Amino acid sequence: MEPSQKRNLVGDFVDRIRRVKSLEELNQAFDAVMQRLHFNRYAYQLIKNENYKKDDPLIVATYPEEWVRYYIDQSYQKLDPVIIQGPKKLIPFTWSSLWEGLELDKKQKKFFQEAEEFSIATGLGFPIHGPDNSFAMISMAAANDDADGVAKIFQEHEDTLHILSLYYHQTLCAIIAKNDNNTGVTQDTTPCVQLTPRQTEILKWAGEHKSNGDIADILSISQSCVDFHLKKIKEKMGVFSKQEAVVKAIMLKLIKFE
């Protein structure tokens, strides 16, 4: 896929989710874009964030219902490496990387064999960390069960999939924020975030996939200065990563790209 096609893919998705008014519409849009990137199933898990403070996690999944019921009945969450190891990861990962070098016991082997039967044995994970131990994760199951094939897709489309996941997460959180704990009471909870001209400039270059070193060279400032500004930006926006700061800034119309 050419860079222009990737930009169009993300742009089309963003245009569509800006018009969604419900979680159902958001999931339809996300499912459609995932299919285009060869992922036919996904699961989203929100443990905690500023707009969701319930004890039980919010889970959205398009896995087969039969598998979900069986998974719960067998308590597979207690041995699933994606559930156990995923929250410890700070960057996107392939599922296969979580059990490389591990000696699987009988229960784990049985789990993987059964997951293969449902075509959800290979995929990717995108952890999303936030302030105050907030955490969400998106897991994507590949239509192709070949781990090497998934690794190739990951290598080619990691940035695109990561950005799409962050847009999904931010939009879902916005839907939650506008609905007072799902009671139907709509509120304007858009955070008031103000960036300085320099912070806006740095964030726009970050949105162009420039590294901190590249941004320092472009703006003729030190990299430590860029690092400092990005740290302050993430604090202001309540996000963990530079990529999420860019996504949130675009959604809040603090920056835009032609």
Q: How far is CA 71 from CA 63, 79, 114, 136, 142, in A?
A: 11, 11, 10, 20, 18
- Report how far apart, in Å, the C-alpha atoms of 147 and of each of 16, 93, 119 are: 31, 12, 12
Cα 40 to Cα 16, 26, 134, 196: the distances in Å are 19, 16, 27, 41
Mean pLDDT for all residues in the chain: 86
Residue 62, pLDDT score: 92
Least confident of 2-11, 210-219, 235-244: 2-11
The answer to whether residues 92 and 241 touch, using CB atoms and an 8 Å cutoff, is: no
Q: Which amino acid is at 80?
A: D
The answer to whether residue 240 scores a pLDDT higher than 60 is yes
CA 241 – CA 234 distance, rounded (Å): 7
One domain, residues 58 and 133: yes
Shared domain for 153 and 46, answered yes or no, is yes
- Is position 188 within any domain? no
- CA–CA dist 130, 133 (Å, integer): 6
List, for residues 3-33, the tens digit of each pLDDT value.
Answer: 677 778 888 999 999 889 899 999 999 999 9
Confidence category of residue 190, pLDDT binned at 50, 70, 90: very low
Question: d(Cα 200, Cα 198) in Å, to the nearest integer?
Answer: 5
Q: What is the mean pLDDT of residues 234-257?
A: 85
Number of domains in the chain: 2
Structural domain boundaries enclosing 172? 3-182
Q: Given CA atoms 60, 65, 71, 74 in this order, what sign does their dihedral have?
A: positive
Q: Which of 157, 182, 207 is the last residue of a domain?
A: 182
Give the model's confidence band at 188: pLDDT under 50 very low, under 70 low, under 90 confident, else very high: very low
What percent of the chain is predicted at pLDDT more than 70? 92
Question: What pLDDT is attached to residue 191?
Answer: 53
What pLDDT was estimated at residue 183? 43
Question: pLDDT of 94-153, one tens digit each?
Answer: 998 888 777 888 888 899 889 888 888 889 999 998 877 889 999 999 876 677 888 888
* CATH, residue 25: 3.30.450.80
The verdict on 228 and 148 lying in the same domain is no
Handedness of CA 194, 199, 201, 207 (dihedral sign): negative
Query: What CATH number should be reported for the domain holding residue 203?
Result: 1.10.10.10
